[in-house]
Amino acid sequence: MTRLAIIDGIRTPFSKAGTDLKSLPAQELGRIVVSELLERTGIDRRIISQIIFGNVAQPPEAANIARVIALNAGIPQETPAYTVHRNCASGFEAVTSAYEKMVAGQGDVYVVGGTESMSNIPLLFSTAAADKFAALNRAKSFFGKVSAALSFRPGDFKPRIGVMLGLTDPVCGLNMGQTGEVLYRDFGISRAEQDAFALESHQRATKARAKLREETMTVYLPHGKFVEQDNGVRENQTTEALAKLKPVFDRRNGTVTAGNSSQLTDGAVALLVMSEDKAKKLSLEPLGYLRAYAYAGVDPQRMGLGPAYAIPKALGESGVKWDDVQLIEINEAFAVQVLAVELVLRKQFGLDINRDMLNVNGGAIALGHPVGASGARLVLTLLKEMERRHLKTGIASACVGGGQGAALILERD
């Protein structure tokens, strides 16, 4: 079977929204990782067939953000670029899109990745207010302008918060945290279990600092500061501290807190991928290969279960055996959601996850979840760890807002 070779990758540090990287818009974060990827790999930019980037918030000032990134990173203007969006799996989608282009015979070398600046998701005006602004803009005479201006009411200036809108499913009406609470009610996964999982994520990420540095570049900011490390990791996180937090999405009966959920984060990831043949021709030593993948649809109210269905689907379609899987990354949107996935995999599919194989370097609860970039980060983090441990097969998976799951089967040599 044809495989997509993943040659190398690099990411920015992941920074909590509103902190170190807040001054850089998503297109600049993307530009930085692509520039650095090109520098590190030394790849001839003229042989790149396409740039494919995942991004969720899609900044209004950078429509088709992949093209903006490509041009700003000095990719020749003749090289096309497009942006993909599958919510939290957008970073995966960039990789699998490249695969699809490749098997369709459309090129053989791609720069893919994901970028997100959750700090820079804009506030919006209501449609009613927007109409009034339009009327004001159209008004020609002085009196017309005054009367248009007088039509505004204080409520018109109340912003609609873009991040919140983006994290709310318009079909089922629940926001992502609330879908976590649905899983709590379905499976009865206790607050204590969730908090323990979250604590482990921080502890593993703390221990893996040096390893994570290997996939991270230093970002230099124009005012002379620089960012080297993921800043969401709480090195001194404790059970007690986690227990003190109030549930965010269901104040009275809820279990999902800021502590056992992923964080709003800024960050970007870039990967150089190409056909296996091309890698051989260029005598490059790939980090690993994309063997197979699957996307699965689930109930939007229980979107967190996505991996539980995507993983068996990917295994079934590729013929890879569960017993051969040596390492797993499941994106930690919410602790409750990963735990529910474990349960469903075991009960419904008879697939047991060994915790020693799961998110061994911590996950999004500690590192953060820049939605458009996370998928690409999971691929990178997983392959780097497989390399360290000399493993053959691994799975990277994530749940997707709107009720989907994604799973990528990756292998080395």
Partner 1 sequence: MESPRLEIDADGIAWVTFDDPDAKVNLLNPATVGQLDKILDGLLQRKPTGLVFISSKPDIFIAGADIKELEKIGNAAHGVELARAGHKIFGKIEQLGVPSVAAIDGACLGGGCELALACRFRVATDNPKTQIGLPETQLGIIPGWGGTQRLPRLIGLRAALDIIVAGKTVNAGKAVRIGLVDAAVPAVALRQVAVKLARGSGIPAATGRDKNFAPTRRMHWENRWPARPLICRIARKRTLAKTRGHYPSPLKAIDAVEQGLASSLENGLEIEAQIFGEVAATPVCKNLIRVFFLREKYSKLRVKGAESAKKIEKVGVLGAGVMGAGIAQWCSARGLTVRLKDIKTEFVAAGIKRIADIYRDGVKRRKVSALDAEHGMARVHPTTEYTGFSDCDLVIEAVLEKIEVKRQLYSELVPRLGKRCVIASNTSAIPIDELAEASGRPTEFVGIHFFNPVHRMPLVEVVRGTKTAPDVLATAVEFAKQLKKIPIVVKGAPGFLVNRLLMPYLNEAGKLLGEGVGIEAIDKAMLDFGMPMGPLRLIDEVGIDVAYDVARELAVAFSGRMSVAPVLQKIHDAGLKGRKGGKGFYVYAGKKERVNREFRGEERPATEIQHRLLEVMINEAKRCLSEGVVASEDDIDAGMIFGTGFPPFRGGLVQYARDSGLWV
- Rounded Cα gap, residues 315 and 376, in angstroms: 20
Residue in 172, 223, 390, 399 annotated catalytic:
399
Which one of the spans 27-35, 52-60, 265-273, 363-371 is the region binding partner 1 (CB under 8 A)? 27-35
Q: List helix spans (H) across 170-225.
A: 176-187, 191-207, 209-214
Residue in 85, 88, 202, 223 annotated catalytic:
88
Residue in 85, 172, 202, 369 annotated catalytic:
369
Inter-residue contact 187 to 255 (CB < 8 Å): no
Which one of the spans 58-66, 219-227, 319-327, 360-368 is the region binding partner 1 (CB under 8 A)? 219-227
If DSSP states are collapsed to H, E and C, what string results for 347-358?
A: HHHCCCCCHHHE
> 39 vs 387, which CB is nearer to partner 1?
39
Interface mask (CB under 8 A) for partner 1, residues 228-247, using x and -?
x-------------------
Smallest distance from partner 1 to CB 44, Å: 8
Smallest distance from partner 1 to CB 24, Å: 11
Residue 35 binding partner 1, by CB under 8 A: yes
User: Which amino acid, one-letter code, is at 305?
Assistant: L
Residue 226 binding partner 1, by CB under 8 A: yes
292: helix, coil or strand? strand
Question: H-helix or E-strand containing 212?
Answer: helix 209-214
Residue 225 binding partner 1, by CB under 8 A: yes
> 40 vs 392, which CB is nearer to partner 1?
40
Residue 76 binding partner 1, by CB under 8 A: no
Which one of the spans 183-191, 216-224, 259-267, 394-402 is the region binding partner 1 (CB under 8 A)? 216-224
Return the residue of 11, 16, 31, 234 that touches partner 1, per CB under 8 A. 31
Which bin fits 201, alpha (ψ -120 to 50), beta or left (φ > 0)?
A: alpha
Give Cβ neighbours of residue 24 (< 8 Å, ≥ 6 apart). 32, 117, 219, 221, 266
Residue 283 binding partner 1, by CB under 8 A: no
Structure-block tokens of residue 221: 């900011």
Give Cβ neighbours of residue 61 (< 8 Å, ≥ 6 apart). 25
Return the residue of 2, 18, 19, 44 that touches partner 1, per CB under 8 A. 44
What part of residues 55-74 is at the interface with partner 1 (CB under 8 A)?
Answer: 72-74
> 36 vs 329, which CB is nearer to partner 1?
36
Q: List helix spans (H) across 350-401.
A: 364-367, 374-389
Asked if 172 is an active-site residue, the reply is no
Residue 40 binding partner 1, by CB under 8 A: yes
Q: Pick from 343, 306, 303: which is nearest to 197 by CA?
A: 343
Number of residues forming the site for partner 1 (CB under 8 A): 21
> 223 vs 246, which CB is nearer to partner 1?
223
- Rounded Cα gap, residues 347 and 196, in angstroms: 22
Smallest distance from partner 1 to CB 71, Å: 9
Q: Interior CA angle at 47 toward 42 and 49, to 5°?
A: 120
Give Cβ neighbours of residue 165 (< 8 Å, ≥ 6 apart). 124
Residue 221 binding partner 1, by CB under 8 A: yes
> 34 vs 378, which CB is nearer to partner 1?
34
Return the residue of 133, 153, 173, 220 that touches partner 1, per CB under 8 A. 220
Q: Pick from 176, 94, 113: which is nearest to 400 by CA?
A: 176
Instruction: Give how far Cα 404 sits from Cα of 153, 198, 334, Å.
Output: 40, 23, 15
Residue 223 binding partner 1, by CB under 8 A: yes
- Rounded Cα gap, residues 318 and 335, in angstroms: 28
Residue 222 binding partner 1, by CB under 8 A: yes
Which one of the spans 169-177, 196-204, 222-230, 248-256 is the region binding partner 1 (CB under 8 A)? 222-230
Smallest distance from partner 1 to CB 56, Å: 23
> 22 vs 207, which CB is nearer to partner 1?
22
- Rounded Cα gap, residues 33 and 365, in angstroms: 23
C-alpha dihedral over 338, 289, 98, 331, to 10 degrees? 10
Go through the chain and tell me how many residues it has: 413
The catalytic site residues sit at: 88, 369, 399
Sites of contact with partner 1 (CB under 8 A) = 28, 31, 35-36, 38-40, 42, 44, 72-74, 218, 220-226, 228
